[in-house]
Amino acid sequence: MGRVSAPRESRPDLAPLLDALQRAGSTEEPNEDIPGLTILHHGLQCAVLLRSACPGDPELQLAGLLHDLGHVVAPGRPEDHGSVGAAFVRPLLGARVAALIEAHVPAKRYLVTTDRSYPERLSRGSLRTLTVQGERMTADEMAEFRAGPHADAALRLRMADEAAKDPAAEVPDLDWWMPPLLAAVG
């Protein structure tokens, strides 16, 4: 995964995002016991899975790429990483990408609550963070989540998130995602 450089001069507004992605490329996924799995590689895998499952939804794919940036911009806050990441990308990539990033944590809680077999599919790291993220949802929380405009897409993101944890997976590098990122910025 090479260093991204060209857009910095032409798109200075992307510099903080690109800097965070560079840091994500050298930072292991903080809550996972998977040696060699960086935040960036995890995001690249997630984005590819979403591109395959939802080829017509580039915003969902970008949310998959960026969903764990909150771990980079505010380390040590697994309970807040969705909302931190959403706030970080909202000014550049818009409300939907941000909402999907924010919703990937409640989506985990929703799936744990509604699918008894889902906890068995969670990695050890995801199970650990679940405790600080609120564990099972109440009936009111479930209703609020389902009523949200992005619930189905957030559930797809969450499922891809859990599946994207192979440090040896071969995926397109960050340069491949620059055209969709630039298109989203407008």
Give the CATH number of the domain where residue 67 resides.
Answer: 1.10.3210.10
pLDDT of residue 54: 97
Using CB atoms within 10 Å of the CB of residue 124, give its burial: 0 to 12 exposed, 13 to 18 middle, 19+ buried: exposed
What's residue 39's pLDDT?
Answer: 92
* pLDDT, tens digit (0-9, with 9 covering 90-100), for 133-172: 778 889 999 999 999 999 999 999 999 999 999 999 999 9
* Residue bearing tokens 């706030």: 87
150 in Cβ contact with 96 (< 8 Å): yes
Instruction: Please check whether residue 186 lies inside any domain of the structure.
Output: no
- Compute CA distances 119 → 74, 109, 126, 156, 159, whole Å: 26, 10, 9, 16, 12
Is residue 172 in a domain? no
Supply the pLDDT for residue 9. Answer: 43
- Does residue 167 fall inside a structural domain? no
- Sign of the CA dihedral 99, 107, 20, 2? negative
Considering the domain boundaries, does residue 176 fall inside one? no
Does some domain include residue 178? no
Token pair, residue 179, equals 């055209």
Q: Residue 126: which domain range?
A: 12-161
Residue 171 lies in a domain: no
Residue 3 included in any domain: no
pTM, 2 dp: 0.88
- Structural domain contains residue 151: yes
**Helix/strand/coil for 56:** coil
Work out how many domains the chain is built from and give that number.
1
Sequence-distant (≥ 6) Cβ neighbours of residue 56 within 8 angstroms: none
